[in-house]
Amino acid sequence: MSTTLTLDALLTRPNALPAMSGTVTELLTEMNKDDPSPKRVAELVGKDPALLTRVLRLSNSSFFRSSRQIGTAEEAVNLLGMTHVRSLVMAAALGGSFKAVPGVNLQQFWRYSLRVAEISRSLAGLLRHAEASAYTAGLIHALGDLVMHTGMPDEVQRLDMIVPPLDLRRSVFEYQTFGFSFAEVGAGMLERWQFPAPIVSALANQNAPFEGDTYDKLAGVLHLAAWRARAEEIQLDRSGMVATFPDMVGLALGVDLDSVLGKDPQEWSFSQALQAFIGD
């Protein structure tokens, strides 16, 4: 199986990338400033009812464990802080951009992505890395998969018949078939939208975080978190996890299988947070 489509060609295909609303574009511009204005961010979120609904659903999910119900964008900024709100806005905006994707069960996709986000944040805490960045990167790490299904549906759905999207071997098959994987696609998309360089790098390097001259700690966190969440999705038993655990990535980060399993979410379903992505 082969394709002549290049990564650049995919990223410039009509309808491959979701259109961002004017409000979201303004938000990304504001949040990319060295000193973004919390007041301006809250105002912009409040201007977009759909985005506000998604941000509030995520804000009130168990992930942020606020002691009180958050009802407005201003409260979200004040209670959670700009770093977390930036993560929520990015995730909510991108989540709302993909309404239906050929060949993808969006409920499963976002459930898996939320799991990766939570495990990434927990691992980042263990490794004294930025937890909010890890959460954001985890939540959006697989967006390239949606872009590939949208921009090259026939080619990707043929691959789906051979190896499902959440299979542990998926990226290997994508490289062999297309010459790139969902990781590079997602990174290319975020680079075009001027996302922070560390998150773009983490997405780009997530499949091989410590190979060659690359040493990307956040990408390593993503690699382990994605492995764990995929293992849960395909219901690997203990022996299967021992056999597939990314030993070299774990060694580079100084964590073993039990350390990763010790960061499992208390709740695997994430039903409340899922409403931010699949709710009305």
Please, what are the averages of pLDDT over each run of 10 residues along the chain (280 residues)?
76 85 85 88 90 85 75 87 78 78 92 94 93 89 95 95 96 97 96 87 97 95 98 96 98 97 90 77
Instruction: Please name the CATH architecture into which domain 101-280 falls.
Output: Orthogonal Bundle (1.10)
Amino acid letter, 227: W
Give residues with Cβ within 8 angstroms of 188, minimum separation 6: 7, 8, 11, 144
Instruction: Yes or no: say if 123 and 229 are a contact pair by the CB < 8 Å rule.
Output: no
pLDDT at residue number 91: 75
pLDDT at residue number 208: 97
User: At which residue do the structure tokens 């290049």 appear?
Assistant: 6
d(CA 230, CA 235): 8
Instruction: Yes or no: say if 278 and 99 are a contact pair by the CB < 8 Å rule.
Output: no
Radius of gyration of the chain from Cα atoms? 18
pLDDT at residue number 272: 79
Q: How far is CA 246 from CA 12, 25, 210, in A?
A: 34, 37, 12
pTM above 0.85, yes or no: yes
3-class secondary-structure state, position 127: coil
Could you please report the per-residue DSSP string of 43-69? HHHHH-HHHHHHHHHHHTSTTT--SS-
Annotated domain spans of the chain? 19-97, 101-280
d(CA 66, CA 77): 12
Query: 143-151 and 153-162 helices cross at what angle (nearest 10)?
Result: 120
User: At which residue do the structure tokens 């998150």 appear?
Assistant: 199
Where do the DSSP E strands lie in 38-177? none
> C-alpha angle 87/226/177, rounded to 5°?
110
pLDDT at residue number 108: 93
d(CA 234, CA 274): 19
